[in-house]
């Protein structure tokens, strides 16, 4: 078996996807690469780790050749809120980095998984039950890079036969590694604050509805899609996937059932609110269900219970 490369491996999804893939395919089969941030001991000691800048095509080429990479999970990206602070860097990493990965994949006959996002939709998109194929006119640089990325991935498949596949992730909730500058980050921060301080000040309005998913389902969706027999896929880049749609108020009410003293208040960040308002309330993920059997394991209650239990254990050790 050729090896698997995970870019952005020190990030929120990458750090857990690397361990998930190592468990599934073997520790020596998965190469984790980060940009500059040092990896955790767990990540470094459980298998191969290297540094790579995806905006430098030579470095991408050297890494893919050095380890004989057959599949790339390309997670390195600048997220929505940080992207609006520095659109030039977001474009460079999200588009030039992706182009480099696709070019090297073409030359080395590697398959590529690239996450898209609910951010690939915009204010003109139908907000409820957002269809798989619909208007995509996002108004953030992150969203623009995600739509361009989806098209570029489909182009590399159609033109060169590169096996590209992707999902449109909603906000991902997890306890291992903090997310790095997204609009949905409140849904992770709220758990840390609920456990530690019993109080959270949310940067989005209480009724802001967005799709979310617990990390185990995010990992499963990526790997299940990459494992699917390609003859079943009519779509490729990228599939709507979701687990539940929530507002900050609803999430806080549900957390209160586990931590009764918990209180939430609001100090709205207008930039982040504008981003959230431009995204759908909830996606229709029936095409992913139909074409490759997507089905989330965690509903809202199951996620909350597991998240509070695992994060409490983690915070006790710190
Ligand atoms: C973000 O908020 O930027 C990300 C995303 C929804 O893609 N979590």
What range does the domain containing 128 cover? 3-170+215-240
State the distance from the centre of ligand 1 to the C-alpha of 284, rounded, in angstroms: 18
Q: For residue 48, what is the domain's CATH number? A: 3.40.50.720
User: How many domains does one find in the chain?
Assistant: 2
Same domain, 141 and 51: yes
Answer yes or no: do 75 and 123 share one domain.
Answer: yes
Q: What is the pLDDT of residues 257-284, one digit of tens each?
A: 999 999 999 999 999 999 999 999 999 9
Residue 119 lies in a domain: yes
Q: What is the CATH number of the domain that holds 268?
A: 3.90.25.10
Query: Are both 223 and 197 inside the same structural domain?
Result: no
- How many Cβ atoms from other residues are within 10 Å of residue 272's Cβ? 20
Query: What's the alpha-carbon Rg for the chain, to the nearest Å?
Result: 19
Q: Do both 106 and 247 map to the same domain?
A: no
> Per-residue b/e over 231-263, b at no fewer than 16 CB within 10 Å?
eeeebbbbbbbbbbbbbbbebbeebeebeeebe
Residue ranges lining ligand 1, Cβ < 6 Å: 79-80, 117-119, 142, 169, 171, 182-184
The verdict on residue 290 lying in a domain is: no
- Pairing state of beta strands 244-246 and 3-7? unpaired
Asked, for residue 289, whether it belongs to a domain, the answer is no
Residue at 288 is within a domain: no
- Whether the CB-CB separation of 77 and 15 falls below 8 Å is answered with no
Q: Are 233 and 273 in a shared domain? A: no
Low-confidence ranges of the chain (pLDDT < 50): none
Question: Looking at the domain assignment, is residue 87 inside a domain?
Answer: yes
Give nearest CA residue, ligand 1 atom 7. 117
Whether residue 69 is contained in a domain is answered as yes
Question: Over the stretch 233-248, which tens digit does the pLDDT of each residue have?
Answer: 999 999 999 999 999 9
Q: How far is the centre of ligand 1, averaged over its atoms, from the C-alpha of 188 (Å)?
A: 12
- Which atom of ligand 1 is closest in space to residue 184's alpha carbon? 2
Does the model's pTM come out above 0.75? yes
Position in ligand 1 atom list of the atom nearest CA 118: 6
Q: Examine residue 110 and state whether it is found in any structural domain, yes or no.
A: yes
Residue numbers annotated as active site: 142
205 and 258 both lie in a single domain: yes
Query: Which pLDDT belongs to residue 80?
Result: 97
- Is 293 within the bounds of a domain? no
pLDDT of residue 180: 87
Same domain membership, residue 139 and residue 34: yes
- One domain for residues 155 and 182: no
Q: For position 253, what pLDDT does the model report?
A: 98
9 & 152 share domain: yes
Q: Within this chain, do residues 307 and 187 fall inside the same structural domain, yes or no? A: yes
Helix axes 248-258, 300-317, angle to 10 degrees: 60
Assess whether 127 and 219 both reside in one domain. Answer: yes
Residues 65 and 180 in one domain: no
Q: Answer yes or no: are the C-beta atoms of 236 and 150 closer than 8 Å.
A: no
């Amino acid at each position: 078996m050729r090896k698997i490369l995970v870019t952005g491996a020190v990030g929120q999804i990458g750090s857990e996807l690397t361990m998930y893939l190592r468990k599934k395919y073997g520790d020596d089969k998965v190469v984790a690469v980060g940009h500059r941030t040092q990896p955790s001991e767990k990540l470094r000691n459980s298998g191969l780790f290297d540094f790579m800048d995806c905006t430098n095509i030579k470095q991408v080429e050297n890494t893919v050749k050095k380890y004989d990479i057959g599949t790339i999970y390309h997670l390195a990206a600048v997220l929505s809120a940080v992207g609006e602070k520095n659109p030039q860097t977001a474009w460079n990493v999200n588009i030039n980095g992706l182009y480099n990965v696709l070019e090297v994949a073409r030359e080395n006959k590697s398959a590529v998984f690239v996450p898209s996002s609910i951010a690939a939709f915009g204010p003109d998109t139908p907000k409820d039950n957002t269809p798989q194929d619909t208007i995509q006119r996002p108004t953030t640089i992150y969203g623009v890079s995600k739509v361009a990325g989806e098209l570029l991935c489909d182009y590399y498949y159609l033109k060169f036969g590169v096996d590209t596949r992707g999902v449109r992730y909603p906000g991902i909730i997890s306890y291992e590694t903090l997310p790095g500058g997204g609009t949905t980050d409140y849904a992770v921060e709220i758990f840390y604050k609920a456990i530690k301080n019993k109080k959270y000040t949310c940067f989005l309005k209480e009724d802001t509805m967005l799709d979310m998913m617990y990390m185990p389902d995010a990992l499963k969706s990526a790997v299940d899609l990459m494992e699917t027999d390609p003859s079943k896929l009519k779509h490729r880049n990228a599939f709507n996937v979701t687990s539940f749609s929530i507002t900050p108020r609803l999430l806080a009410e549900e957390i209160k059932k586990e931590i009764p003293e918990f209180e939430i208040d609001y100090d709205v960040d207008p930039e982040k609110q504008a981003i959230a308002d431009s995204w759908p309330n909830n996606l229709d993920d029936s095409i992913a269900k139909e074409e490759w059997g997507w089905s989330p394991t965690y509903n809202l209650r199951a996620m909350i219970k597991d998240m509070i239990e695992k994060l409490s254990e983690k915070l006790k050790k710190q």
